[in-house]
C-alpha cells in the first residue's frame, strides 16, 4: 500500500484535539503528547493501555464460539507493565526464550500455566526452567529437540506436554524475513516427518502428546493462508487421533498483520472477526482447545515513538529532517523497509507540505524512518509522532553508537506512568571492565 499523502486517520489511541482555528495537538488517550515530551524527554515510547485492552478483547470476543486461549506473543513488546496488564485479563503468553518466560513468571507466577514455549533453539537450561514452571505446552521443532526435551523431563521426573510445529508449506504474502511456513525455512518439521516424531514421542513416558502447532509467518493481512493452514492442520488432527493420539490443542500461531496506515478500532474488530472465521472454519466439530499467539496486532497500534526535530537540512534537491530518535530506537524501517506513518504532534492546517526524508543521527545511511515522504511542513524543535511503533520497536532496540535507549510511558486515561526509565551512560557501561 502506498504511503498516505495526507495526515492519516489516527488509531483510537492517538487522536487530535482541534481548536476553532483548525489547529490540533495529538493526544494519547486524554494526555497531549507535548506534555509527555516536556515531562519525560525525547525520544519517548508512549503506549495506550486502553487500546491494548481493546485489541486483546477483540480477539477474545471473536473466538468465543470455541474454547480458546489468547497467548500474547511476548517478543512483540516484553515490558513488564504491558505483560502485567494482559495477565490481569487471564491472557496466556507465547515465549521464545528463557528470558521471556522469566518475565512472565515475574509478573505472575501462576501465568506459567498458560505459557506456550516456541522457538527452534531451546537450550537445556531453558527447557528445565519451563518444566519447573509448569508451562502449558512446548512447541517442538526438531527430532533433536524432542530427544533433549525427553531427557530433561526424565531428569526432573516431570512430564512435558508437547505439540509438534508442523510445516504446512503454505506461502504467506509477507516480508521474507518473517515468513515461516515453507519447507525452506528453519521453523517446524515437514508433515511426513511429523507423524513419525509423534510416534516416537508417544513411546516416552516423559512426553505427553497434547497438540498440533502451526505458524506460517507474521504481518499477514490476507486471511486465505490462515484458512489453508488450518485445513491441513485439521486433517493432521484427525490422522493423529486415528493413530491413537489424544490431541487436545491446536496452536494456530499468530501473524495477523496491521496496515501501518492507521485504522480505527472498529476496522480492527472487523478484521479480527474475519480472521477468526477463517481459522475456526476447519476446526469446528474437532473438540479442540485453540491457542492463538497475536502480538503485533495487539500492541503495535497502541504505541508511538515521539521524537523532536533537531535540524532541517537540504542537500541539492533533497530535504531532510534530522530527529533525535534513530535506528537503534526503531529499526523496522532500516531492517524491513517498513512503512510507519509520521505525523506532527502539533498540527497546523494553514501550512503546506514538503517531500522529505526523516532520518536519525546514527552514523549509517540506513538510519532513516521515511524516505521521500510528503509531510506537513514542520520546523526545528517541533515534535513528530512515529505511529504503530508499539510492536518490535523497543524490543528490537539497541545501544548502537552508545546511545541510551528511550524511556517508555504507559497512559491510562489521564494518567501517565513511566514503565521503563530512560537509560543513562552509567547503564550502558555497567558490567564493562
Shared domain check, 417 and 290: no
Which CATH number fits the domain that encloses residue 255?
Answer: 3.20.20.10
Phi, psi dihedrals of residue 138, rounded to the nearest 5°: -100, 125
Residue-by-residue DSSP string for 121-139? ---HHHHHHHHHHT-SEEE
Instruction: Please classify residue 413 by burial: count the beta carbons closer than 10 Å to its beta carbon, then call 0-12 exposed, 13-18 middle and 19+ buried.
Output: exposed
CA 93 – CA 130 distance, rounded (Å): 13
CA 350 – CA 23 distance, rounded (Å): 8
Is residue 338 a contact partner of residue 371, using CB atoms and an 8 Å limit?
A: no
Residue ranges making up the domain that contains 407? 14-48+301-429
Asked, for residue 9, whether it belongs to a domain, the answer is no
pTM for this entry: 0.91
C-alpha cell at 285: 466439530
CA 11 – CA 79 distance, rounded (Å): 21
Ordered alpha helix ranges (H), 120-223: 124-133, 143-156, 191-202
CA 316 – CA 263 distance, rounded (Å): 36
Of 271, 297, 323, the residue that ends a domain is: 297
Walking along the chain (433 residues) 10 residues at a time, the average pLDDT comes out as: 42 81 87 98 98 96 97 98 98 98 97 96 98 98 96 98 87 44 63 92 97 84 84 94 97 85 73 92 94 96 97 95 98 94 91 95 96 96 97 97 98 97 97 92
Count of other CB atoms within 10 angstroms of residue 283: 20
Which CATH number fits the domain that encloses residue 419?
Answer: 2.40.37.10
End-to-end CA distance of the chain: give it in Å, rounded.
49
Among 38, 10, 3, 6, residue whose Cα is nearest residue 383: 38
C-alpha cell at 300: 503495535
C-alpha cell at 397: 532496540
Report the phi/psi class of residue 266: left, alpha or beta, with left for phi > 0 and alpha for psi in -120 to 50: alpha
Instruction: Please classify residue 121 by burial: count the beta carbons closer than 10 Å to its beta carbon, then call 0-12 exposed, 13-18 middle and 19+ buried.
Output: exposed
Shared domain check, 169 and 281: yes
C-alpha cell at 73: 506473543
Shared domain check, 158 and 210: yes
Among 209, 217, 216, residue whose Cα is nearest residue 232: 216
Is residue 252 a contact partner of residue 226, using CB atoms and an 8 Å limit?
A: yes
Count of other CB atoms within 10 angstroms of residue 24: 19
Shared domain check, 409 and 331: yes
Shared domain check, 219 and 76: yes
Shared domain check, 289 and 339: no
The H or E element that residue 320 is part of is strand 318-323
Is residue 150 a contact partner of residue 208, using CB atoms and an 8 Å limit?
A: no
Shared domain check, 178 and 60: yes
Q: Which of 28, 91, 152, 363 is catalytic?
A: 363
- Residues constituting the chain: 433
The H or E element that residue 343 is part of is strand 342-344
Beta strands in 236-317 (DSSP E): 249-251, 289-292, 303-315
CA 46 – CA 254 distance, rounded (Å): 24
Count of domains forming the chain: 2
Between strands 68-73 and 249-251, the pairing is unpaired
Shared domain check, 387 and 277: no
| Residue 309 pLDDT | 98
CA 13 – CA 27 distance, rounded (Å): 8
C-alpha cell at 246: 489424544
Asked, for residue 82, whether it belongs to a domain, the answer is yes
Is residue 301 a contact partner of residue 374, using CB atoms and an 8 Å limit?
A: no
Shared domain check, 349 and 407: yes
Is residue 246 a contact partner of residue 197, using CB atoms and an 8 Å limit?
A: no
Shared domain check, 181 and 75: yes
Shared domain check, 358 and 268: no
C-alpha cell at 323: 530527529
Task: State the greatest distance between any 2 C-alpha atoms of the chain, in Å, as a whole number.
Answer: 74
CA 366 – CA 242 distance, rounded (Å): 53
Shared domain check, 289 and 272: yes
Among 216, 213, 238, residue whose Cα is nearest residue 227: 216
CA 212 – CA 188 distance, rounded (Å): 11
Residue 91 catalytic?
no
Of 297, 327, 342, the residue that ends a domain is: 297
Amino acid at each position: 500500500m502506498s504511503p498516505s499523502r495526507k495526515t492519516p486517520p489516527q488509531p483510537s489511541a492517538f487522536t487530535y484535539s482541534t481548536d476553532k482555528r483548525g489547529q490540533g495537538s495529538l493526544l494519547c488517550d486524554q494526555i497531549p503528547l507535548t506534555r509527555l515530551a516536556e515531562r519525560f524527554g525525547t525520544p519517548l515510547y508512549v503506549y495506550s493501555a486502553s487500546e491494548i485492552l481493546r485489541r486483546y478483547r477483540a480477539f477474545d470476543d471473536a473466538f468465543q464460539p470455541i474454547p480458546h486461549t489468547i497467548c500474547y506473543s511476548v517478543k512483540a513488546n516484553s515490558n513488564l507493565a504491558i505483560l502485567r496488564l494482559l495477565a490481569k485479563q487471564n491472557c496466556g503468553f507465547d515465549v521464545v526464550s528463557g528470558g521471556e518466560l522469566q518475565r512472565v513468571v515475574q509478573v505472575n507466577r501462576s501465568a506459567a500455566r498458560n505459557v506456550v514455549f516456541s522457538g527452534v533453539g531451546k537450550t537445556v537450561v531453558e527447557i528445565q526452567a519451563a518444566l519447573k514452571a509448569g508451562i502449558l505446552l512446548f512447541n517442538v521443532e526438531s527430532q533433536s529437540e524432542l530427544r533433549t526435551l525427553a531427557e530433561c523431563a526424565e531428569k526432573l521426573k516431570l512430564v512435558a506436554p508437547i505439540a509438534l510445529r508442523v510445516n504446512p508449506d503454505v506461502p504467506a504474502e509477507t516480508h521474507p524475513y518473517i515468513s515461516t511456513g515453507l519447507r525452506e525455512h528453519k521453523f517446524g518439521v515437514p508433515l511426513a516427518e511429523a507423524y513419525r516424531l509423534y510416534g516416537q514421542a508417544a513411546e516416552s513416558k516423559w512426553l505427553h502428546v497434547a497438540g498440533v502447532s502451526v505458524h506460517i509467518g507474521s504481518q499477514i493481512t490476507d486471511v486465505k493462508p490462515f484458512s489453508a493452514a488450518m485445513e491441513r492442520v485439521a486433517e493432521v488432527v484427525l490422522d493423529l487421533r486415528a493413530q491413537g493420539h489424544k490431541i487436545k490443542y491446536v496452536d494456530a500461531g499468530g501473524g495477523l498483520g496491521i496496515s501501518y496506515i492507521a485504522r480505527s478500532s472498529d476496522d480492527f474488530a472487523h478484521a479480527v472477526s474475519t480472521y477468526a472465521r477463517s481459522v475456526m472454519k476447519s476446526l469446528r466439530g474437532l473438540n479442540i482447545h485453540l491457542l492463538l499467539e497475536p502480538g503485533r496486532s495487539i500492541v503495535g497500534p497502541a504505541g508511538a515513538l515521539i521524537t523532536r526535530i533537531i535540524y532541517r537540512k537540504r542537500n541539492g534537491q533533497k530535504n531532510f529532517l534530522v530527529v533525535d530518535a534513530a535506528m537503534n530506537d526503531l529499526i523496522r524501517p532500516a531492517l524491513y523497509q517498513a512503512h510507519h506513518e509520521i505525523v506532527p504532534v502539533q498540527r497546523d492546517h494553514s501550512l503546506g507540505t514538503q517531500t522529505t526524508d526523516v532520518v536519525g543521527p546514527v552514523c549509517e545511511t540506513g538510519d532513516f524512518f521515511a524516505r521521500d515522504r510528503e509531510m506537513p511542513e514542520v520546523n526545528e524543535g517541533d515534535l513528530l509522532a512515529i505511529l504503530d511503533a508499539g510492536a518490535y520497536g523497543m524490543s528490537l532496540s539497541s545501544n548502537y553508537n552508545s546511545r541510551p535507549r528511550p524511556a517508555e510511558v504507559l497512559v491510562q486515561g489521564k494518567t501517565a506512568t513511566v514503565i521503563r526509565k530512560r537509560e543513562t551512560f552509567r547503564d550502558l557501561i555497567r558490567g564493562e571492565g
